[in-house]
């Protein structure tokens, strides 16, 4: 069951509760707890037990495998936990099996239209999770391999300009560009124009001092998260508008 936050009933994984018996999380106030992927306290649950999650990623998925009594993938759970907490930049090799498995789980979930949590009502995702578990580890890694190759291609092919601390990418609906990817190459501010949405976004490396949510850049007032801000909804912007944002940020940030 996918929820906004665990109710405290039944079982839960990475959903805001942790007691080491029925509920398992390792974020925020539970940062001292092990990640579900490596937490051998997680029990096998019954067919009629309800497990609440707020999202699906590889760490949560391996926790679900534990609860389902399934065989666990032969990957590095310590690395999985590090990536889960800090992002893929902790791993310089994009084609390490553990990272490919993680990417594969995410891509498989998107392919199966895994829903987002709905504040109004929990959503039963049992059938989707069962479809994911029907895939072998090798198949998941293959999915991750293909997704990583496509993402790396988009990172290179959709790049328009880089100067100093800022980079600019123009992407279409079929370009699987990861806005956080440039951080790994020392580019802390990323401007993205999405041609299919006619929008401009500014992403900032989380550990950097930069943030542009609520600020005006090149005549555009960016809204949203301070470090992942977008142009106003309902207003169309083209690639040249994105380039102006990029140019202004290059000057501002030196």
- Coarse DSSP helix, strand, coil percentages of the chain, rounded to the nearest 5 percent: 35, 15, 45
Per-residue confidence (pLDDT) for residue 244, from 0 to 100: 98
Confidence of residue 91 (pLDDT cuts 50, 70, 90): confident
Confidence of residue 104 (pLDDT cuts 50, 70, 90): very high
**Residue 198, both tokens:** 């006619």
Round the CA-based radius of gyration of the chain to a whole number and report it.
20
Residues 123-147: what's their mean pLDDT? Answer: 97
Per-residue confidence (pLDDT) for residue 254, from 0 to 100: 83
**Strand 189-194 to 199-204 pairing:** antiparallel
Q: Look at residue 146 and tell me whether its pLDDT is greater than 90.
A: yes
Per-residue confidence (pLDDT) for residue 175, from 0 to 100: 94
Per-residue confidence (pLDDT) for residue 92, from 0 to 100: 80
- Which of 64, 40, 42, 46 minimizes the C-alpha distance to 54? 64
Residues 212-238: what's their mean pLDDT? Answer: 95
Q: Where are the domains of the chain?
A: 11-152, 158-253
- How much of the chain, in percent, has pLDDT values that exceed 90? 87
Higher pLDDT, 198 or 178: 198
Of 81-95, 144-158, 194-208, which range is least confident?
81-95
Residues 163-183: what's their mean pLDDT? Answer: 94
Per-residue confidence (pLDDT) for residue 207, from 0 to 100: 85
Give the mean pLDDT of the chain: 95
Q: Look at residue 87 and tell me whether its pLDDT is greater than 80.
A: no
Per-residue confidence (pLDDT) for residue 118, from 0 to 100: 84
User: pLDDT tens for residues 27-73?
Assistant: 989 999 999 999 999 999 999 999 999 999 999 999 999 999 999 99
Per-residue confidence (pLDDT) for residue 98, from 0 to 100: 97
Sorted by sequence, the CB contacts under 8 Å of residue 217 that are 6+ apart come out as 202, 245, 248, 249
Task: Compute the residue count for the chain.
Answer: 254
Give the integer Cα–Cα distance in Å for 151 and 88: 13
In CATH, the architecture of 158-253 is Roll (3.10)
Query: Cα 55 from chain centroid?
Result: 10
């Amino acid at each position: 069951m996918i929820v906004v936050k665990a109710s405290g009933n039944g079982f839960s994984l990475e959903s805001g509760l942790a007691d080491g018996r029925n509920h398992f999380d390792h974020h925020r106030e539970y940062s001292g707890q092990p990640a579900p992927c490596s937490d051998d306290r997680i029990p096998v649950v019954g067919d009629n037990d309800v497990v609440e999650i707020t999202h699906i990623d590889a760490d949560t998925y391996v926790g679900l495998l534990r609860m389902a009594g399934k065989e666990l993938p032969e990957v590095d759970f310590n690395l999985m936990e590090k990536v889960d907490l800090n992002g893929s930049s902790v791993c310089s090799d994009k084609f390490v099996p553990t990272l490919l498995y993680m990417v594969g789980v995410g891509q498989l979930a998107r392919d199966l239209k895994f829903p987002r949590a709905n504040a109004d009502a929990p959503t039963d995702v049992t059938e989707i999770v069962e479809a994911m578990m029907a895939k072998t580890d090798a198949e998941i890694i293959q999915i991750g391999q293909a997704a990583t190759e496509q993402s790396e291609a988009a990172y290179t092919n959709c790049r328009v300009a880089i100067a100093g601390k800022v980079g600019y990418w123009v992407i279409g609906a079929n370009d699987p560009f990861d806005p956080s990817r440039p951080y790994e190459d020392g580019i802390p501010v990323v401007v993205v124009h999405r041609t299919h949405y006619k929008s401009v976004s500014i992403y900032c490396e989380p550990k950097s001092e930069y943030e542009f949510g609520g600020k005006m850049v090149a005549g555009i007032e960016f809204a949203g998260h301070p470090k992942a801000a977008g142009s106003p909804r309902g207003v169309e912007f083209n690639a040249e508008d994105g380039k102006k944002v990029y140019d202004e940020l290059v000057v501002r940030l030196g």
